[in-house]
Amino acid sequence: MRFRFEAALIDAYPGLTNQIGGRQSGDYGCRHVEQIVAEYAAEPFEARERLLLISIARTYDEEGRSVYDAVRGTWKVKREKAESFKLVLAHHLGVVVGAFRPERWLPATKDNFPWLAEDIPRRFGFVGRRAEPEIESLYVKKRVPDQFRRKGAANPVRFVTETASTQRQDAESPN
């Protein structure tokens, strides 16, 4: 309960000097009623292939980037592992807002990601394209299933390794 209170306070007072949001702020921070209704009214998606599920709440809201730029970088992931996943879903406050096919994973440098103030070691992002319309229709505007939303997890990246018949989240760390 303490962490929910902390997350709500940090979100309610944006001038605070915290470098990151409170624990669980993606699930319990300030939201408009329309966002809450959209999340709970949407049906959950069923994973049809292995995918990366990335929360873009901070980069999308605070930095005003497009969904593509918010999801494509930069993340604390092992490059080799990320390259084995062929679909990336961007979600914002529990609802999928974009589906992308990564074509290359690149180091988090100013050359690769112009909005960076400096290079960030051991982080990666991708360049890619929107997923096919039939794939987007399976995921976009759908709710992230509860089993992929671990409460209190700090890393916004989840590796979904199994399909709808046996959906589960990869238990190993994304690193």
Structural tokens at position 6: 């902390």
Structural tokens at position 54: 């990335």
Residue with tokens 């916004």: 156
pLDDT digit string (tens) for the chain, length 175 residues: 556 666 666 666 666 655 555 554 555 556 566 656 556 677 999 999 999 999 997 777 666 788 999 999 889 999 999 999 999 999 988 899 999 999 999 999 999 999 899 999 999 999 999 999 999 999 999 999 888 876 666 788 999 987 665 544 444 445 5
Strand 51-55, strand 88-92: pairing = parallel
pLDDT attached to residue 63: 67
Instruction: Tell me the β-bridge partners of 129.
Output: 101
Helices (H), 29-155: 33-41, 57-61, 67-72, 79-83, 133-139
Strand order across the 95-108 sheet: 120-130, 95-108, 88-92, 51-55, 157-160
pLDDT attached to residue 94: 85
- Regarding pTM above 0.95, the answer is no
Class of domain 43-164 as given by CATH: alpha beta
CA separation for the pair 96, 90 (Å, rounded): 6
Instruction: Tell me the β-bridge partners of 164.
Output: none
Domain(s) of CATH 3.10.590: residues in the chain = 43-164
pLDDT attached to residue 60: 74
CA separation for the pair 62, 114 (Å, rounded): 17
Give the C-alpha distances (Å, rounded to integers) separating 102 from 15, 16, 35, 55, 83: 35, 35, 28, 16, 8
